[in-house]
Amino acid sequence: MMDERPEIRCKGLGVSDGIVIGQVLRLHDGTQHVYHWRIHDADLETERQRFRAAVELASRQVLAIKEGAEKRFGKDHAYIFDAHLLMLEDEKLIGDIERHIIEKHENAEWAVKVVGDSFLYLYSQIKDDYLRERGSDIEDVMQRLLVALSGAQPGNRNLSEDAVIVSQDLLPSAVAELDLEHVRALVTDTGGWTSHTAILARGVGIPAVVGLRDFYRRTRTGDKIIVDSIRNEVILNPSAETLKFYQGETADRVKRQDSADFKATGPVCTQDGVEVTLRANVEVPSEFEGVETFGASGVGLYRSEFLLARRGAMVSEEEQREAYEAVAKVAGEQGAVIRLFDLGGDSLRQQFDEPEKNPALGLRAIRFVLCNQEIMRKQVRAILLAAANGKLDIVLPMVADVSDVRRAQAVIQEEANNLRNAGRSFGEVRVGAMIEVPSAVLMADKIAQTVDFFELGTNDLVQYTLAVDRGNDEVADWFRTLHPAVLHSIDQSLKAAARAGIPAIVCGEMASTPAYAVLLVGLGATDLSMTPSAIPRVRRAIAGIDSRDALVIIEECLNCDTAADVENLVRERFTKLWPQLFPPASLPAPRQSEAK
C-alpha cells in the first residue's frame, strides 16, 4: 500500500484553460551538484578542450532556441537569447574560466561554478532592479554549460505521457526547450498573465496555473496531480472522490474534442435560431494559429501592449505596422479589433519617477495614451497604414465618458488627414469603446451615440464595479463575476448599444466560460470574443440551449439580492434544464464562506 498523503489544494491564477490529470515532473530551475577534482599537468590541455567543446555545444543549443523563439514569440522576444550567445562568446567569462582551469588545476565544472558565482555576486550588488535581474541570465548560461559538460542532452528528458511540469519559475530557455508534445500542463510558483509560461501555454493550448507561491516544494516527481485552470486551482494527491469527479470531467472533454464542435467554424446558432458570433482574443504570434484551428470568426480583441512587453521599450511605427498586418491576415474577412495600448504609466516610467500610489485608478489605458500623444499617434498611424491591407478596427481601452472618446477620435482623424495629405495609402477604421468602468456603463447611451461599436471587458468591469482587486487573495470572496451589479451593468451596456443600433462584443473571461456565455446570450449578447481554445466548448454550450430559457434565467438573476443567490440559482436551473451540457463542475461552485 502506498503511503496515504493528504490531498492538497492550492489556488493560483489559471492563465491557460483546461483540466488535466497527470503526474508531477519537477523541473528544477537552477542548481546542479558540482564535483571538484584536480587536473594533472598532462591533462590540462584536454580539460581546456573539453570546456571549449561544451561552450560550442551550448552556443549551438542557444542558437537553436533563439531561432525557435523568434518563430513562436516574434523577434522582439528572442533578443534575450542573443545576450546569452554573447555571454558564451564573452572573453571575460570564457577566458576567466579557462584561466581558472589552467592556473588552479581544477576541473571545468568547478571552474564554471567558481567564476560564474563571482559574476553573480557582482550582479547582486547592482542597484538597478532590471540589470540586477540579468543575474538570472548568467545563471541560465552557467547551468547550460554545466549540463553540456556533463554530456547530458537537455531537452531530451524522458517525459511520461501525462507529465505535468511543476517548477518554481521556468527559465525562458527551459520553456523553449521543453518537448511540448508530451507536456500536459505547466504549473509554476511565480508568474502572472504575461509570464513566459503563460504565453507559451496559451500558444500551444495546454492548461497552466501560475502564482502558486510555495507549491513546488510540496511536490515530488511522480505525485498525482490535477491541474484545473478553469477554477484557478491545482490539487496534489487527489482523494479517490476528487479523482472520480475529475475523471468524469476529463472523459467528457475528450469526447467533446472529437466532436463536431472542434471542427465547426463560423457563427453558432441556439436551438431557437439566434446566431452568435465567436471571435478570438489574441496577444502573441503563437496564439494566431488557434484562430483558424478553433474556428474563430476573426479577432475580437488584440492586446497590443504585448508589443511593449520588453518593459517599456517603444516599438517603431514600422514594426507595429507589420504586427497589425499579421493580425489582420490571421483574422481574414471578419477583421480584427486592435485595442490601443492598455497599460499604466508605471510600465513606461523613468526609473527616477515616483511610482503612482494607486495605479489601477491612475494614468493608464486611454488616459495614458492621450497624455503621451507621440506614442498614441505612432500606434494610430501604424494601424491606419496596416488597414490598407486588411480589415482593422480600433477600440479605446477604459474610456470613462464621451470626452475620452472625442479626444481620441480627434487624434485618429488628424492622423488619417496627415496620411492622406502625404499621399500614403491607408484604410478606414471603425472606432469602438471598451465599456469596463462604472461611469462608462452609466453613460453608455451617450457613448453609444459617438462610437461605432462597444466592447465589454468583463474582467475589468467586475473589478471596477465591485472595487475588488482580483489579484488580492484577501478579498477573493468579494470578486464575484455573477454579482447582480455586474449583470445589471452588462445588461445596461448591451441595451444602450442596441438602442443606438451599434454592435457590442463581449470579451473577457466571462465569454470563455460556457455557463456564463449562456447567461450573456440571455442578456442579448450575440457577439463573444474569447481565448481561442475556449471556442469549441462555448460553441457546444450555445448550440445546445434555447435563448428563451436563458432569458428567463437571467431575468431571475437580475432580481437576485446577492452574488451567492445568483450562483445558487444558476446551479439549480442549469442542472435541471441542461444536465448533459452542464455537469456540476462546469457551474460556479458554492463558496465555503457561505456554505449552509
* Minimum distance from residue 320 beta carbon to another protein (Å): 12
**Looking at residue 344, what DSSP letter applies?**
B
* Minimum distance from residue 414 beta carbon to another protein (Å): 17
* Minimum distance from residue 403 beta carbon to another protein (Å): 22
Give yes or no for a contact between 15 and 201, defined as CB atoms under 8 angstroms apart. yes
* Minimum distance from residue 148 beta carbon to another protein (Å): 19
The torsion defined by the Cα of 58, 61, 63 and 66, in degrees rounded to 10, comes to -120
Cβ-count burial of 320 within 10 angstroms (0-12 exposed, 13-18 middle, 19+ buried)?
buried
SS3 589: coil
- Give the footprint of another protein on this chain (CB under 8 A): 79-80, 82-83, 86-87, 90-93, 119, 122-123, 126-128, 130-131, 134, 137-138, 310-314, 316, 348, 350-351, 372, 374-375, 378
* Minimum distance from residue 313 beta carbon to another protein (Å): 4
Q: Which of 275, 187, 78, 201 is nearest to 532 (CA)?
A: 201
Distance set, CA 68 to CA 64, 220, 472 (Å):
6, 30, 36
Give yes or no for a contact between 112 and 100, defined as CB atoms under 8 angstroms apart. no
DSSP 452-469: SEEEEEHHHHHHHHHT--
For another protein, the closer of residues 184 and 381 by Cβ is 381
Cβ-count burial of 362 within 10 angstroms (0-12 exposed, 13-18 middle, 19+ buried)?
middle
Residue position matching grid coordinates 518537448: 179
The torsion defined by the Cα of 138, 201, 247 and 164, in degrees rounded to 10, comes to -20
For another protein, the closer of residues 365 and 554 by Cβ is 365
For another protein, the closer of residues 334 and 372 by Cβ is 372
SS3 38: strand
Q: Which of 330, 360, 328 is nearest to 344 (CA)?
A: 360
Give yes or no for a contact between 25 and 164, defined as CB atoms under 8 angstroms apart. yes
Distance set, CA 427 to CA 335, 388, 504 (Å):
12, 4, 22
For another protein, the closer of residues 248 and 355 by Cβ is 355
* Minimum distance from residue 143 beta carbon to another protein (Å): 16
Cα separation, 544 vs 398, in Å, equals 34
For another protein, the closer of residues 80 and 487 by Cβ is 80
Cα separation, 425 vs 423, in Å, equals 7
* Minimum distance from residue 28 beta carbon to another protein (Å): 24
10, 100, 483, 507: which one is catalytic?
Answer: 507
Q: Which of 494, 495, 465 is nearest to 480 (CA)?
A: 465
**Cell numbers standing for residue 291:** 484562430
The continuous run of DSSP H or E covering 393 comes out as strand 392-396
For another protein, the closer of residues 334 and 347 by Cβ is 347
Q: Which of 370, 339, 375, 343 is nearest to 356 (CA)?
A: 343
SS3 273: coil
Give yes or no for a contact between 112 and 99, defined as CB atoms under 8 angstroms apart. no
For another protein, the closer of residues 351 and 593 by Cβ is 351
For another protein, the closer of residues 194 and 449 by Cβ is 194
DSSP 435-448: E-SHHHHHTHHHHH
Helix axes 484-500, 458-466, angle to 10 degrees: 120
* Minimum distance from residue 66 beta carbon to another protein (Å): 11
* Minimum distance from residue 98 beta carbon to another protein (Å): 14
84, 100, 196, 483: which one is catalytic?
Answer: 196
Q: Helices in 215-371 by DSSP H: which ranges?
A: 240-258, 285-293, 317-331, 365-371
Active site residue 196: yes
* Minimum distance from residue 418 beta carbon to another protein (Å): 16
For another protein, the closer of residues 35 and 352 by Cβ is 352
Catalytic residue annotation: 196, 507
